[in-house]
Amino acid sequence: MVQNFDEKLKKYAELAVRTGVGLRPGQRLLIEAPVETAPLARALVEAAYDAGASFVDVRWDDDAVNLLRYQKAPEGSFDQLSKWRVDAEMETVDEGGAVLAIRSTDPGLLGGVDAARVTQQSRALSTYRKPYSKKVMTNSVNWNLITAPLPEWSSQIFPDVSAEEAVEQHWDAIFAATRADQPDPIQAWEDHLAALKTRRDYLTDKGYAALHFKDAAGGTDLTVGLADDHVWGGGASDSTGAEQGRFVPNIPTEEVWTAPHREWVDGVVVSTKPLSYNGVLISGIRMRFENGQAVEVSAEQGEATIKELIATDGGSAHLGEVALVPHSSPISQSGLFFFHTLYDENAASHIALGAAYRFNVAGGTEMSDEEFMAHGGNDSIVHVDWMIGSATMDVDGITKEGQREPVMRAGEFVI
């Protein structure tokens, strides 16, 4: 049976509410949405009330307004922010609610903006938002990220068609990647989550001391030590907050990931896909790590922005995540570059600069900052993923005894 657009949009919204944030009857929900995505936001509101939400609020964002500020606001003013926007998130969490964000933006929006302006605003926002980020990093809130097309964004993915056709093709790609176009998306996700759980449990039981990434074709030769008592995540998570329950942070998701050891990362790593960060496209990233820290950084495009990023604070030049994604993932096989980390990170293995998720260390959500760091965990106000996997990437697991075991060959799992 062929489904029309409205039917698929409704299923997408239901999937985000019921499987994504795992909304429970009586729970409140905060939706964060660009103004251009209003049809999806309204579908989410309806799906949330149908699921028994007590109150649904929408916080609107506007790319055009943000761009005007960067273009016209005076120098030195970018440490100012509207605290109420973050306070709304904390209020929702404090009352046991959930947060669902539509993360859609023009990837090149800020390409012509002074990187220092973007960095100053990003640092101010990340600093004020850190208490909320800590809730996310400890699974203390049910949260979920999804996307929706914007004409400027869609035209970058599909440059050879009209803007209207690009948006239509973008929606088709989103529905396919999120399984929203299947007869029963929620059951399809149950099957997918079960497969991810099997993989993450296997890797947790292995307890590797480190992973070695080798891509002779791409130039990566990197050893990533893993945090003491690390735990692999992937697919669904369990909330530790007042309203406990299962949720899926990212739709789509194809990865399993864990916490690196912040002091044991050595070698060279090269990006295999561009990174769209704060409206700036960064490509050709190359980093050399010594004793956990990025000591040499370059990029073919957006170098100033990536250098500003790693200089954010004491933890931003260290890794907070290492993730494995098979080259055969549906997003990779689509052949599309989405210019959006939520999708592109699920097409390739990746690493993240900055904070580690506390739940990636056994007992980490109950640890002090000092205890978490002692286990190898990293702390920062940033967490930025970038892609390093490819069809020529091999990954070995290194046991505590120093033995090597194949985990991936030519971009595919062999475990």
User: What is the C-alpha separation between 402 and 172, in angstroms, rounded?
Assistant: 46
Q: Is 2 exposed, middle or buried (0-12, 13-18, 19+ CB in 10 A)?
A: exposed
Residues 120 and 249 both lie in one domain: no
Q: Considering only CA atoms, which of 381, 401, 245 is closest in space to residue 317?
A: 381
Residues 64 and 10 both lie in one domain: yes
CB within 8 A of 267, min separation 6: which ones?
220, 221, 222, 223, 288, 289
Residues 145 and 261 both lie in one domain: no
Q: Which two tokens stand for residue 402?
A: 């120093």
In which region does residue 359 sit, left (phi positive, over 0), alpha (psi from -120 to 50) or beta (all else)?
A: alpha
Residues 348 and 213 both lie in one domain: yes
176 phi and psi angles, rounded to 5 deg = -70, -45
Q: Which two tokens stand for residue 393?
A: 């990437």
DSSP string spanning 275-288?
EEETTEEEBS-EEE
Residues 195 and 151 both lie in one domain: no
Residues 196 and 141 both lie in one domain: no
DSSP string spanning 284-314?
S-EEEEETTEEEEEE-SB-HHHHHHHHTSST
Which SS3 state, helix, strand or coil, does residue 26 take? coil
Residues 68 and 142 both lie in one domain: yes
Pick from 177, 202, 233: which residue ends a domain?
177
Residues 87 and 202 both lie in one domain: no
Number of domains in the chain: 2
Q: Which two tokens stand for residue 364?
A: 């980490």
Residues 304 and 166 both lie in one domain: no
- Please tell me the predicted confidence (pLDDT) of residue 94: 94
- Please tell me the predicted confidence (pLDDT) of residue 392: 97
Residues 114 and 217 both lie in one domain: no
Which SS3 state, helix, strand or coil, does residue 38 take? helix
Domain that holds residue 328: 185-413
Pick from 129, 157, 177: which residue ends a domain?
177
Q: What is the dihedral of CA 243, 246, 250, 254, to 10 degrees?
A: 160
Residues 160 and 228 both lie in one domain: no
- Please tell me the predicted confidence (pLDDT) of residue 243: 59
Provide the CATH number for the domain around residue 90: 3.40.1830.10
- Please tell me the predicted confidence (pLDDT) of residue 115: 83
Residues 198 and 324 both lie in one domain: yes
pLDDT by residue for the chain (415 residues), tens digit each?
568 999 999 999 999 999 999 999 999 999 999 999 999 999 999 999 999 999 999 999 999 999 999 999 999 999 999 999 999 999 999 999 999 999 999 988 888 899 889 889 999 999 999 999 999 989 899 999 999 999 999 999 999 999 999 999 999 999 999 999 999 999 999 999 999 999 999 999 999 999 999 998 999 999 999 999 999 999 999 877 655 689 999 999 999 999 999 999 999 999 999 998 887 889 999 999 999 999 999 999 999 999 999 999 999 999 999 999 999 999 999 999 999 999 999 999 999 999 999 999 999 999 999 999 999 999 999 999 999 999 999 999 999 999 999 999 999 999 8
Pick from 161, 177, 193: which residue ends a domain?
177
- Please tell me the predicted confidence (pLDDT) of residue 29: 98
- Please tell me the predicted confidence (pLDDT) of residue 119: 87
- Please tell me the predicted confidence (pLDDT) of residue 280: 84
